[in-house]
Structure 1
Amino acid sequence: MSFQNTPDFARQLDAQDPLRAFRDRFHLPLAPDGREAVYCCGNSLGLQPRAARAAVEAEFQSWQEHAVEGHFREPSCWMHYHETLTEASARLVGARPVEVVVMNNLTVNLHLLLISFYRPEGRRYKVLMEGGAFPSDQYALESQVKLHGYQPDDTIVELVPRPGEHTLRTQDIEARIQALGEELALVILGGVNYYTGQAFDLAAITRAGHAVGATVGFDLAHAAGNLALQLHDWDVDFACWCTYKYLNSGPGGTSGVFVHERFAERPDLPRLAGWWGHDASVRFQMQKGFRPMPGAAGWQLSNAQIFPMAIHRAALALVDEAGGMAALRRKSEQLTGYLEFVLQQAGLPAEVLEIITPADPAQRGCQLSLLVHRQGRQLFEFLAERGIMADWREPNVIRLAPVPLYNSFEDVWRIGQGVAAWSAELAAAPANQ
Structure 2
Amino acid sequence: MTFENSLAYAKKMDTNDPLAPMREQFHIPKHSNGEDEIYLCGNSLGLQPSRTQEYLNYELSQWQKLGVKGHFSGDFPWMPYHEFLSEGFADLVGAKTSEVVAMNSLTANLHFMMVSFYRPTATRHKILIEDHAFPSDHYAVESQIRYHGFNPDESMLLIKPREGEELIRDEDLMALIEEEGDSIALIMLPGVQYYTGQVFDMEAITKAGHNKGCKVGFDLAHAAGNITMSLHQWNVDFACWCTYKYLNSGPGSVAGCFVHERHHSDKSLNRFAGWWGHDKETRFKMANHFIPMESAEAWQVSNPPILSLAAIRASLDTVKQAGGIKALREKSLQLTGFLRFLLEQELGEDINILTPTEDKAHGSQLSLTVDTHGIDGKVVFERIEAAGVTGDWRYPNVIRVAPVPLYNSFEDCYRFVQILKQSLQPE
TM-score range, shorter chain: over 0.9
Structure 1 residue 354 and structure 2 residue 355: aligned? no
Q: How does 1:15-414 map to 2 (within 5 A)?
A: 15-347=15-347, 349=349, 352-373=350-371, 374-414=375-415
Moved over 4 A (4+): none
The one-letter code sitting in structure 2 at the alignment partner of 1:156 is M
The alpha-carbon deviation at position 167 of structure 1 amounts to 0.4
8 A contact 1:46–1:247 mirrored in 2: yes
Counterpart contact for 1:343–1:419, Cα < 8 Å: no
1:348 positional shift: 5.2
Q: Tell me the distance in 1 between the aligned counterparts of 2:29 and 2:98.
A: 38
Q: TM-score, normalised by structure 1?
A: 0.96
Segments of 5+ residues of structure 1 without an aligned counterpart are none
Per the TM alignment, residue 75 of structure 1 is displaced from its structure 2 partner at its CA by 2.2
**For the residues of structure 1 that align with 2:286 and 2:268, how far apart are their CA atoms?**
21
Q: Deviations over 1:203-245 (max 9, x none)?
A: 0100110010000000000000001010001110000000000
Instruction: Give the Cα–Cα distance (whole angstroms) in 1 for the partners of residues 267 and 102 of structure 2.
Output: 20
Q: Deviations over 1:71-130 (max 9, x none)?
A: 011123100111111111111100001111111111111110000000011311111101
Q: RMSD of the TM alignment (CA)?
A: 1.0
Report the identity percentage: 51
Cα pair 1:353 1:370 within 8 Å, conserved:
yes
Instruction: Judge conservation of contact 1:32–1:385 (CA < 8 Å) in 2.
Output: no
SS where residue 79 of structure 1 aligns? coil
Distance 2:146 2:162 in 1: 29
Give the aligned length: 424
Distance 1:110 1:228 in 2: 21
Q: Which residue of 2 aligns with 1:415?
A: 416
The secondary structure found in structure 1 opposite 2:393 is strand
Residues 369-378 or 359-368, more deviating: 369-378
**Partners of 2:3 and 2:119 in 1: how far apart?**
51
SS of 1:76's equivalent?
A: coil
- How far the C-alpha of 1:145 sits from its partner, in A, is 0.5
TM-score by length of 2: 0.98
CA distance in 2 between counterparts of 1:267 and 1:57 reads 41
Paired residues of 1:98 and 1:264 also in contact (CA < 8 A): no
Q: Is the partner of 2:185 in helix, strand or coil? A: strand
Partner AA of 2:188 in structure 1: I
Distance in structure 1 (CA, Å) of the matches to 2:32 and 2:85: 38
Residue 414 of structure 2: SS of its match in structure 1? helix
- Give the distance between the partners of 1:182 and 1:199, measured in 2 at CA: 25
- The residue identity in structure 2 corresponding to 1:195 is Y
